[in-house]
């Protein structure tokens, strides 16, 4: 496994693989890898001859008051996760490598799945996501790129961008990986105290309350959202940022639950913002 910090090194190595007729998978990450990331790397290794994992804390997708400076980083640990998962190359660029002095070209989605949810509560977030992912897809030119379903809106945005820009990469969504008690794995879980970690279970428990109601025949969105929010808001350390029922493909709000819908939420546990979602179907 190789570790590269310069774009030209990545281009040369990928060109060599492609010249040999090898397929290439890409797993874009912001590092501090956990079992959720490992599942993406392992999926890419099963379906491709070579796997590139990018580790880059992207400053463009953080707002002015968000946690860019404190976002967890541990390259040595990440390297071992990549090695065990079957990665062939780690791309670990500096911000200056991807955004050199004078950088002024951005990829911005002005509608579609970028509206609402994180797009509304984190202005500019998806411009940062689309810009860095477009650059990575251009640099690596993978056959497939892998993203987790936990970031469901991000996955929908990237799929739309790839379609709109006629990019040749297939976007593969992979299931959420959870702790045994249901908490969705996230690098930001490391921010939680022991008390907050216990409190964070209210998120998944709220989603399950909505799921149970739908499976029992409830088709009204208000009743389902009320069941989810009631469980989450019963936890004193929790504060809902958003909670919505949306179409799982285009993220548009749904009015009834006659078709499968994604229940998506962002919740502050103390000062830590966590996202999660669950597909609901009768």
Task: Clarify whether residues 30 and 167 are in a common domain.
Answer: yes
Domain end position, chosen among 126, 152, 174 = 174
- Pairwise CA distance, residues 263 & 253, whole Å: 10
Task: Clarify whether residues 162 and 192 are in a common domain.
Answer: no
Task: Clarify whether residues 29 and 133 are in a common domain.
Answer: yes
- Domain membership flag for residue 255: yes
- Pairwise CA distance, residues 225 & 248, whole Å: 16
Q: What is the CATH number of the domain that holds 125?
A: 3.40.50.620
77, 81, 86, 92: CA torsion to nearest 10: -50
Q: Tell me the percentage of the chain whose pLDDT exceeds 90.
A: 97
Domain end position, chosen among 118, 143, 174 = 174
pLDDT digits (tens, 9 = 90+) for 76-98: 999 999 999 999 999 999 999 99
Active-site entry in 34, 37, 125, 143: 37
Task: Clarify whether residues 203 and 146 are in a common domain.
Answer: no
Please say if 2 is a catalytic residue.
Answer: no
Angle between helices 152-164 and 125-140 (to 10 degrees): 60
Task: Clarify whether residues 246 and 147 are in a common domain.
Answer: no
- Domain membership flag for residue 8: yes
Task: Clarify whether residues 166 and 90 are in a common domain.
Answer: yes
Per the structure, the complete domain to which residue 107 belongs is given by 2-174
pLDDT, position 26: 98
* Other beta carbons less than 10 A from residue 100's beta carbon: 8
- Domain membership flag for residue 271: yes
Task: Clarify whether residues 17 and 145 are in a common domain.
Answer: yes
- Domain membership flag for residue 281: no
- Domain membership flag for residue 180: no
- Pairwise CA distance, residues 27 & 81, whole Å: 13
pLDDT, position 282: 81
What pLDDT band is residue 169 in, cutting at 50, 70 and 90?
very high
Task: Clarify whether residues 107 and 216 are in a common domain.
Answer: no
Edge-first strand order for the sheet with 89-91 is 2-4, 89-91, 50-55, 24-29, 144-148, 170-174
Over its C-alpha atoms, the chain yields an Rg (Å, rounded) of 19
pLDDT digits (tens, 9 = 90+) for 109-152: 999 999 999 999 999 999 999 999 999 999 999 999 999 999 99
Q: What is the CATH number of the domain that holds 260?
A: 3.30.1300.10
Q: What domain count does the chain have?
A: 2
- Pairwise CA distance, residues 243 & 278, whole Å: 12
- Domain membership flag for residue 253: yes
Domain end position, chosen among 174, 199, 231 = 174
pLDDT digits (tens, 9 = 90+) for 236-272: 999 999 999 999 999 999 988 989 999 999 999 999 9
Task: Clarify whether residues 150 and 11 are in a common domain.
Answer: yes
pLDDT, position 158: 98
Task: Clarify whether residues 161 and 58 are in a common domain.
Answer: yes
The overall average pLDDT reported for the chain is 97
- Domain membership flag for residue 182: no
**Mapped to the 3 state alphabet, what secondary structure does the chain carry?**
CEEECCHHHHHHHHHHHHHCCCCEEEEEECCCCCHHHHHHHHHHHHHCCEEEEEECCCHHHCCCCCCCCCCCCCHHHHHHHHHHHCCCEEECCCHHHHCCCCCCCCCCCCCHHHCCHHHHHCCCHHHHHHHHHHHHHHHHCCCEEEEEHHHHHHHHHHHHHHHHCCCCCEEEEECCCECCCCCECCHHHHHCCHHHHHHCHHHHHHHHHHHHHHHCCCCEHHHHHHHHHHHHHCCCCEEEEEEEEECCCCCCECCECCCCEEEEEEEEECCEEEEEEEEECC
Task: Clarify whether residues 30 and 82 are in a common domain.
Answer: yes
pLDDT digits (tens, 9 = 90+) for 6-60: 999 999 999 999 999 999 999 999 999 999 999 999 999 999 999 999 999 999 9
- Domain membership flag for residue 181: no
Task: Clarify whether residues 112 and 51 are in a common domain.
Answer: yes
């Amino acid at each position: 496994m190789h570790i590269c910090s310069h774009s030209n090194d990545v281009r040369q190595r990928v060109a060599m693989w492609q010249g040999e007729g090898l397929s290439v998978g890409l797993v874009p990450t912001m590092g501090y890898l956990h079992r959720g990331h490992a599942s993406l790397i392992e999926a890419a290794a099963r379906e491709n001859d070579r796997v590139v994992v990018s580790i880059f804390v992207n400053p463009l997708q953080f707002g002015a008051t968000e946690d860019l400076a404190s976002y967890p980083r541990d390259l040595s640990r990440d390297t071992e996760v990549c090695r065990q998962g079957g990665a062939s190359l780690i791309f670990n660029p500096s911000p200056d490598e991807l955004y050199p002095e004078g950088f002024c070209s951005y990829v911005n989605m002005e509608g579609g799945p970028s509206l609402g949810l994180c797009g509304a509560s984190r202005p500019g977030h998806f411009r940062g996501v689309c810009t860095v992912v477009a650059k990575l897809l251009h640099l690596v030119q993978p056959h497939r790129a892998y993203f987790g379903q936990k970031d469901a809106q991000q996955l929908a945005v990237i799929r739309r961008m790839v379609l709109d820009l006629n990019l040749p990469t297939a976007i593969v969504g992979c299931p959420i990986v959870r702790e045994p008690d249901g908490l969705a794995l996230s690098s930001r879980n490391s921010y939680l105290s022991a008390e907050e970690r216990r409190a964070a279970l209210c998120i998944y428990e709220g989603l399950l309350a909505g799921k149970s109601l739908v499976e029992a025949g409830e088709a009204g969105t208000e009743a389902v959202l009320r069941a989810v929010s009631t469980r989450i808001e019963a936890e004193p350390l929790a504060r809902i940022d958003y909670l919505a029922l949306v179409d799982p493909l285009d993220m548009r709000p749904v009015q009834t639950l006659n078709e499968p819908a994604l229940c998506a939420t962002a919740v502050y546990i103390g000062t830590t913002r966590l996202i999660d979602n669950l597909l609901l179907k009768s």
